[in-house]
Structure 1
Amino acid sequence: MRLCSIASGSSGNCIYVGDDDTHLLVDTGISKKRIEQGLHTLGIKGEELNGILITHEHVDHIQGLGVFSRKYGIPIYATRGTIEGIRCCTSLGKMPEGLLHDVPVDETFSLGGMSIRPFAISHDAKEPSGYRIENETKSVAVATDLGKYDEYTVAHLKDLNAVVLEANHDIHMLEVGPYPYPLKRRVAGDKGHLSNELSGRLLCDILHDNLQYVVLGHLSKENNYEELAYETVKLEVSIGDNPYKGEDIPMMVAKRDIVSDIISL
């Protein structure tokens, strides 16, 4: 199985997950051209995709969905609430008939050789979800845009081989930064985004010997930077109640405008 961040951040998100037989995108929050360029880096054509999984209807996760789907006709999967949000988003233009498929959280479905399980996340959208994706030998998950986590979240992220995990903001940078107070409260709230510290603590709860790679994603441009997210998450692992140290875990920070290295599991 392969995992690659085509784009990740508050300005746009698009993650590739696939293997030799099945190719999936999680979110299309960047332009069609950038999606195509990212897929070209992976040696994949748009028409070869088996499906697009959408986490929620905010523009940084669906910006390119209308143009991309009109060109390639790839089936789109999301919760019913997210599909309602997509249909209400006039900036996408008219979506092709028959492409939108609603998938309930906590119910597994198959695309190609992959099993996919949506799970609920806490965010200020209609019915947001993360995704756990497995083939016969490996499992990965995408978990961003979650203001808080609990035992349910941890259960869906157990026994992974790789994970894209939100490390959106540094708490101090958010507090003293340029955002107006209501937006600061939203970002830091239970339906907002996961801080670097909380990301590290969640990681502590899902660490195991076969977790091969961690990708920190959805960083805020105004309230975080790569080195700070990386070092904070590493520190939380090192001081957490677990047998690991931060340097034990292969980890990268996904960039907002550069395709990441391809992670092969």
Structure 2
Amino acid sequence: MGFRFTVLSSGSTGNATIVTNDEHTVLVDAGLSAKRIDQLLAERGVSGHDIDALFVTHEHSDHIKGLGAVARKFNIPVFANEATWGAMEKHVGTIAPEKRNIMQTGETFEFGSMKVQSYPISHDAVEPVGYCFTEDGYKLSLATDLGYVSDKVRQHIIDSDVLVLESNHDTEMLRMGRYPWNIKRRILSDVGHLSNVAAGEALCELMTDRTKRVYLAHLSLDHNVMELAKLTINGILENNGIFFKRDEDPLRETYYDRATPWDEVKRR
């Protein structure tokens, strides 16, 4: 069987991803306006009424901006850990008690044959997480807003069929950019964002014969370009003798202003 996903939007202007197995559909983050999320869903043939759950990675606005409005409009249950609920509560408005679900970090929820597990990540939020989706032996991992790829992160996302991985910035572009130094220091820190080089080095340890595609995500509009990210990561992989199997275009793009095409997570 397997399942399908589309990254509706990725970047500091807003993040949202849909994962579905045609029986159950879940949304990860709702960091755009409710109107924009509605538009992106419609473009991919999904109605908000189809969504069975909304999972939250952390409380930053680019991940929860439209959460309250979307959850109320479509009556969607929301899943987040207790610390994240506390941090985002005043920003998302009233969520009905029966729609508030505490998902402890590391816990797994099941929607039919689809399993959703959270795992801890390093970022400057109260208790940020990533998510892994598994079904019938297939695995999709979402890993963005990472200061670094810890051993615990690596244990969760290694051996994925498809991986959505942050490749936020080119370090030199960031150092030479217009941001104040305190913001640059935050981005470069262990609770900031993953650079192109860090993403490439991480992939050297994450990729197995099972890995077919990696979507590069959360790219900075000011301090990165997709072509540079791909070039940097491909160079690191080739220098380490690591190559993708069975795919003509294994490094895939995500966008801040449009959704990715549907992709099927299945063995080929």
Report the TM-score, using the length of structure 2 for normalisation: 0.93
1:250 Cα deviation from its structure 2 partner: 0.9
Q: For residues 9-45 of structure 1, what are the alpha-carbon distances to aligned partners after superposition, in whole Å with 9 as ceiling and x for unaligned? A: 1110001111121111111001112212222233221
Give the partner amino acid of 2:18: Y
Looking at structure 2, the residues matched to 261 and 245 of structure 1 have their Cα atoms a distance apart, in angstroms, of 20
Question: What stretches of structure 2 of length at least 5 have no aligned partner?
Answer: none
Kept in 2, the 8 Å contact 1:145–1:194? The answer is yes
1:93 Cα deviation from its structure 2 partner: 2.8
Structure 1 runs (4+) deviating above 6 angstroms are 245-249
Aligned position for 2:203: 203
1:201 Cα deviation from its structure 2 partner: 1.1
Aligned position for 2:187: 187
Aligned position for 1:165: 165
Aligned position for 1:62: 64
Does residue 262 of the first structure (1) align with residue 262 of the second (2)? yes
Q: Secondary structure at the match of 1:159?
A: coil
Kept in 1, the 8 Å contact 2:175–2:184? The answer is yes
Looking at structure 1, the residues matched to 192 and 15 of structure 2 have their Cα atoms a distance apart, in angstroms, of 16
Looking at structure 2, the residues matched to 101 and 83 of structure 1 have their Cα atoms a distance apart, in angstroms, of 9
Aligned position for 1:86: 88
Question: What stretches of structure 1 of length at least 5 have no aligned partner?
Answer: none
Looking at structure 2, the residues matched to 148 and 72 of structure 1 have their Cα atoms a distance apart, in angstroms, of 35
Aligned position for 1:24: 26
Question: Given the superposition, is the C-alpha separation of residues 111 and 250 from structure 1 closer, same or farther in structure 2, using an over 3 Å criterion?
Answer: same
Aligned position for 1:151: 151
Looking at structure 2, the residues matched to 40 and 123 of structure 1 have their Cα atoms a distance apart, in angstroms, of 32
Give the partner amino acid of 1:76: V
Looking at structure 1, the residues matched to 149 and 59 of structure 2 have their Cα atoms a distance apart, in angstroms, of 20
Q: For residues 150-176 of structure 1, what are the alpha-carbon distances to aligned partners after superposition, in whole Å with 9 as ceiling and x for unaligned? A: 221111012211111000111001100
Aligned position for 1:244: 243
Q: Secondary structure at the match of 2:37?
A: helix
1:95 Cα deviation from its structure 2 partner: 2.6
1:98 Cα deviation from its structure 2 partner: 2.4
Kept in 1, the 8 Å contact 2:31–2:62? The answer is yes
1:245 Cα deviation from its structure 2 partner: 6.4
Give the partner amino acid of 1:178: R
Looking at structure 2, the residues matched to 9 and 168 of structure 1 have their Cα atoms a distance apart, in angstroms, of 8
Q: For residues 101-144 of structure 1, what are the alpha-carbon distances to aligned partners after superposition, in whole Å with 9 as ceiling and x for unaligned? A: 11112222212331111000000001000001111241101100
Looking at structure 1, the residues matched to 73 and 155 of structure 2 have their Cα atoms a distance apart, in angstroms, of 37
Give the partner amino acid of 1:263: D
Match of 1:10 among 12, 33, 42: 12
Kept in 2, the 8 Å contact 1:237–1:245? The answer is no
**Segment drifting more, 208-217 vs 179-188:** 208-217
Looking at structure 1, the residues matched to 56 and 206 of structure 2 have their Cα atoms a distance apart, in angstroms, of 24
Kept in 1, the 8 Å contact 2:212–2:244? The answer is no
Q: Secondary structure at the match of 1:205?
A: helix
**RMSD in angstroms over aligned alpha carbons?**
1.7
Q: For residues 214-260 of structure 1, what are the alpha-carbon distances to aligned partners after superposition, in whole Å with 9 as ceiling and x for unaligned? A: 111011111111111121111121113x5426997612120101111
Q: Secondary structure at the match of 2:97?
A: coil
Looking at structure 2, the residues matched to 145 and 61 of structure 1 have their Cα atoms a distance apart, in angstroms, of 10
Looking at structure 2, the residues matched to 212 and 25 of structure 1 have their Cα atoms a distance apart, in angstroms, of 23
Aligned position for 2:111: 111
Give the partner amino acid of 1:82: T
Q: Secondary structure at the match of 2:98?
A: coil
Q: Secondary structure at the match of 2:42?
A: helix
1:46 Cα deviation from its structure 2 partner: 0.6
Identical aligned residues as a percent: 36
1:86 Cα deviation from its structure 2 partner: 1.5
Give the partner amino acid of 1:174: L
- Number of aligned residue pairs: give it: 262
Match of 1:47 among 38, 46, 49: 49
